[in-house]
Structure 1
């Protein structure tokens, strides 16, 4: 896909990966609307992004039906149509399942899985009208290799990945492509409350690197973007061929990992 002149809606676009994707798309000549829950953060982000191109924002919570309706209707009005939907907004709460309260579990399900599904469903008429459109679902490397203390997060992100795979095949040949992005540990506000570092396998890369890989994949009409390089590829292979070996590796890391992610929360 050539991004010049394309109209994109990016959820969770005021910071992190969403902001970086918005910046990269603007540099390619796209028009962008970013969304989020915090008007002040969105306004600040837009002021910076306007140095790159045409961008507006919508303050709404995509985890709610009213928020999704406001997001899509406002974006369509501001852009005059829609060519790209980037489902990037997400939330996480790490820790043992029995220590995670129901409200936190339900928030992850609503934000990370239900919202992208429902927003994609609502956006399909506009995307079909484009004739050359794209849905990008930003999941997580944990959807490919699930780590302990992220049971719900891994579940919803893996669910979003399989949703995208199925929808891609459902829409194949109809002018709407679907691509899945699997970031690894990324230096974003979502990761600030996590103390897991390289010694535990959490090597953070800049959000701009994830965005650059995403843009390259969009231009190549790729199916997926998997970050983490050779180390992640080896873990994926080991998880498929000898999952017990990976279980053992995580068992050795469990005490340190439990402590490092105990306060990891961004909901």
Structure 2
């Protein structure tokens, strides 16, 4: 897909991966609307992007709520005049032992990481079908491919989003709308700022711009998926399929340090 002139909605676009994707698409001539819950963060993001000469607007809305999704799509369509690409990037995380995670935290992850992209995609499909070539990009996580301890709910919802995308891609095959799934690894974003897990625990962070560049390359190649993490991630995926007990043992050795490193990891 050529991104020139494409009309794009990016949820969670005020910072991190969402901002980097919006910026990369803008450079390639797309018209962008970003969403987020905080107006001040959106204002800063829009100012930065417009300073670079981009066509960018924003919507302050919470896509985890019905009203927020309705507002997001309504205003985006008004500003863009249609929709070619939906990037479901908004997300939240709360790490830690399952029994220490509150019901409110669990439900928040389910709503923003899984329910919101499913329902927003459903609402946007008529406009995406009307495009000359619609696209849905779902930002999941490497944890959806190899689940780490202390991220049970997050792995569950991100894995669910990945399978939602795979199923929908096949459902829409031949109907003018493609679906691409992205699996970022640890990324240097505000969402990761409260995590102390580093390379020694397998969390080597890359810049959000690197993830965005890979997403753009995937879009331009009409890829089914984009998996970050290189050879190390590929080996873990293979080991998880061939000998999951070996990976269980590796995580067992890391559990004490990992538990301490991620106990305060929260971005909801």
Per the normalisation by structure 1, the TM-score is: 1.00
Unaligned runs of 5+ in 1: none
Say whether residues 1:35 and 2:2 are aligned partners. no
Cα distance change, pair 52–224 in 1 and its aligned pair in 2 (3 A): farther
Greater mean alpha carbon deviation, residues 48-57 or residues 255-264: 48-57
- Aligned twin of 1:185: 186
Q: How does 1:92-241 map to 2 (within 5 A)?
A: 92-241=93-242
Aligned to 2:7: 7
Distance 2:124 2:108 in 1: 22
Q: Is the 8 A contact 1:23 1:52 kept in 2?
A: no
Q: 1:131 & 1:118 partners in 2: Cα distance? A: 22
Match of 2:247 in 1: 246
- The whole-number CA distance in structure 1 between the counterparts of 2:94 and 2:144 is 15
User: Which whole-Å deviations, capped at 9, do the CAs of 1:125-146 have from their partners, x for residues lacking one?
Assistant: 0000103010000000000000
1:149-202 Cα deviation digits (max 9, x unpaired): 000000000000000000000000111000000000000000000000000000
**Matches of 2:44 and 2:147, distance apart in 1:** 35
Query: For 1:163 and 1:258, how far apart are their aligned partners in 2?
Result: 30
SS in 2 for 1:173: coil
| Deviation readout 1:205-225 (Å, 9 max, x if unpaired) | 000000000000000000000
What is residue 17 of structure 2 aligned with on the other side? Answer: 17
Partner of 1:266: 267
Please state how far the C-alpha of 1:53 moved relative to its aligned partner: 1.1
Residue 66 of structure 2: aligned partner? 65
Gaps of 5+ in 2: none
Q: Does structure 2 conserve the Cα–Cα contact (< 8 Å) formed by 1:144 and 1:236?
A: yes
Q: How many corresponding residue pairs?
A: 267
Inter-partner Cα distance in structure 2 for 1:208 and 1:156: 24
Distance 2:49 2:176 in 1: 29
Task: Report the Cα offset of residue 108 of structure 1.
Answer: 0.1
Asked if the contact 1:181–1:214 (Cα under 8 Å) also holds between the matched residues in 2, the reply is: yes
Partner of residue 45, structure 2: 45
Three-state SS of the structure 2 residue aligned to 1:104 is: helix
Shift, 1:52, TM fit: 3.7
2 CA distance for matches of 1:22 and 1:171?
25
* 2: CA distance, partners of 1:134 / 1:224: 13
Paired with 1:188 and 1:131, the residues of 2 have a C-alpha distance of 33
1:7, 1:84 within 8 Å by CA — same for their partners in 2?
Answer: yes
Q: 1:58 to 1:126 in 2, by over 3 A?
A: same
TM-score (norm. length: structure 2): 0.99
Q: What secondary structure is seen at the aligned counterpart in 1 of 2:159? A: helix
